[in-house]
Amino acid sequence: MTFDDGFRAALRELLVWRRDVRRFRSDPLPPATLERLIELACLAPSVGLSQPWRFVIVDDPARRRAMLEEFKSCNEDALKSYTGGLAPRYAELKLAGMAEAPAQMAVFADPATGLGHGLGRRTMPEMAEYSVVAAVSMMWLAARAEGIGMGWVSILDPARVAGILEVPSAWRFIGYFCFGYPQAEYDAPELERAGWERRHEVENFILRR
C-alpha cells in the first residue's frame, strides 16, 4: 500500500487539527460510535501483541455523577497546590467536559494479561501502559476525522476511579475520556488560548548523540 502527497497532506491536517476538547454540544453521537472508535484504536501497536487495553463505556448516570464529583474533588486539591499568580489562572481553566459530553469512557491497561507471553516487558513492564496510550492516540485521530471531539480528563484518583467503575484492582488507570461534537473549532489548543502554555519549536525537544 502506498500513499500519495495528497493523502500525506490531509494526514498532516488531521494531526494539526486534533484538539483536547472541553466544550461539547449536547446532541448525542450516532449509535455504536464508541464501539467503532474502539475497533480502530485496537489497530494500534502493542508490546508483544499483548493488546492490554481495556475500554469501559460509562453510560450509567449514577456512575457519571460519581466520576464528575471525583473530578471536582481532585480539581479542588490541585488548585490548592498552585500559588501566586498561577492559582487564579488555574481556577479559570475549563479542564473537563464531563457535565456536557454525551459519551464517556474510561481506559485502563491490564498489565497482567497473558496475551503476548510477556514479550518486550521484562526490562520495561510499563510498556503495557505505553501500548494503551498508543491506542488512545489512534482513537483520538479517528474521532477527529469524523468531526467528533475527544477530551482527556486526568485530574482523577486512579484508585477511586477503579472503585466507582468496579474494575479489577490490577488494571492501571490511563484516563477518562469525553466524546461529543465540539461547540466550536479553534486553530490553537485551549490551554494556549488561555495563556497557560504555548507550543514550542520542535528543535527544543531534539538531541543528537
pLDDT tens column, 18-47: 999 999 999 999 999 999 999 999 999 999
% residues pLDDT > 70 (the chain): 100
CA distance 40 to 58: 19
The tens digit of pLDDT for each residue in 46-59 reads 999 999 999 999 99
pLDDT 10s digits, 69-106: 999 999 999 999 998 889 999 999 999 999 999 999 99
pLDDT of 16 higher than 90: yes
Pair type for strands 103-109 and 172-180: antiparallel
pTM reported for the whole predicted model: 0.94
Residue spans of the domains in the chain: they are 20-187
Considering only CA atoms, which of 42, 50, 54, 70 is closest in space to residue 107?
54
Check residue 76 and give its pLDDT. Answer: 96
Could you read off the pLDDT of 118-153 as tens digits, one per residue? Answer: 999 999 999 999 999 999 999 999 999 999 999 999
Please tell me the predicted confidence (pLDDT) of residue 41.
98
Render 115-174 in DSSP notation, one character per residue. GGGGTT-SS-TTHHHHHHHHHHHHHHHHHHHTT-EEEEE--S-HHHHHHHHT--TTPEEE
When pLDDT is cut at 50, 70 and 90, the band that residue 209 belongs to is very high
Cell 488512545 -> residue: 136
Neighbouring C-beta atoms of residue 103, cutoff 10 Å: 19
Average pLDDT of the chain, as a whole number: 96
pLDDT at 187: 85
What is the fold of 20-187? Answer: NADH Oxidase (3.40.109)
